Amino acid sequence: MLTRDRIGALLMLAFSIFYWLQISDIKLLAFQADAAFTGRTIPEILAVMGVVLSVALLLRPGSDAKLEVTGFHWRRAALLCVLMIAYGLTVRPAGFLLSTSLFLICSILVLGERRVWVILVASIPLVVLFWALMTQVLGVYIAALPEFMDLSR
């Protein structure tokens, strides 16, 4: 019987398998070929965990409750998907800080939060902290500014 949990598990299984197949496209530098920890390590762990957890959800005994599609917030879900696509298209031209902040602000608004201080505190510091962690601590280059403002090129 297809329940909400099983549909979610099937979608997650399909995504995890697709993600796992794409990991080989991650380029490694010559000195990374024999390293224990590379740019592929965490994606591989995430893919394996996704497959294992999805299969576990599929195999566990479920309830006999029928799937009801009424009560779902389809408009919100569709709008979040549109926001994700727009974010993917704007992250390079608009820069990480601006596009990610706008994506989170818009997503929080779609989910129903209306307090401005909550929206700003939940989005902007998180984006700046994540950018600083990736660039300053882990050494991963992420363009913070829009392309026309990036002076490093």
Q: How do the domains of the chain map onto residue ranges?
A: 1-68, 73-153
Confidence of residue 4 (pLDDT cuts 50, 70, 90): confident
Q: What pLDDT, on a 0 to 100 scale, did the predictor assign at position 128?
A: 93
pLDDT at residue 40, as a whole number: 81
Q: Would you place residue 34 in the very low, low, confident or very high pLDDT band (cuts 50, 70, 90)?
A: confident
Instruction: Using the predicted structure, report yes or no on whether residue 71 has a pLDDT greater than 80.
Output: no
Q: What is the DSSP letter of 33?
A: T
| Of 101, 89, 5, 106, residue with least CA distance to 53 | 5
Distance of CA 134 to the CA centre of its chain: 15
3-state secondary structure of 151: coil
- Residue 135 near residue 97, CB atoms below 8 Å: no
Given this model, what pLDDT does residue 152 score?
Answer: 58
Confidence of residue 118 (pLDDT cuts 50, 70, 90): very high
Closest CA to 12 of 61, 53, 62: 53
Residues 119/109, Cβ–Cβ less than 8 Å: yes
Residue 28: CB atoms within 10 A of its CB come to 12
Q: How confident is the model at residue 153 (pLDDT cuts 50, 70, 90)?
A: low
Which residues are CB-contacts of 95 (< 8 A; sequence separation ≥ 6)? 143, 144, 145, 146, 147, 149, 150
Query: Higher confidence at residue 149 or residue 111?
Result: 111
DSSP designation for 25: G
| Predicted local confidence at residue 39, as pLDDT | 80
Q: Mean pLDDT lowest for which of 4-13, 60-69, 103-112?
A: 60-69
Averaged pLDDT, 113-131: 93
Whole-angstrom distance, CA of residue 55 vs CA of residue 79: 29
Alpha-carbon gap, residue 72 to 8, rounded angstroms: 14
Identify the residue with better confidence: 105 or 61: 105
Q: Which residue has the higher pLDDT, 51 or 68?
A: 51
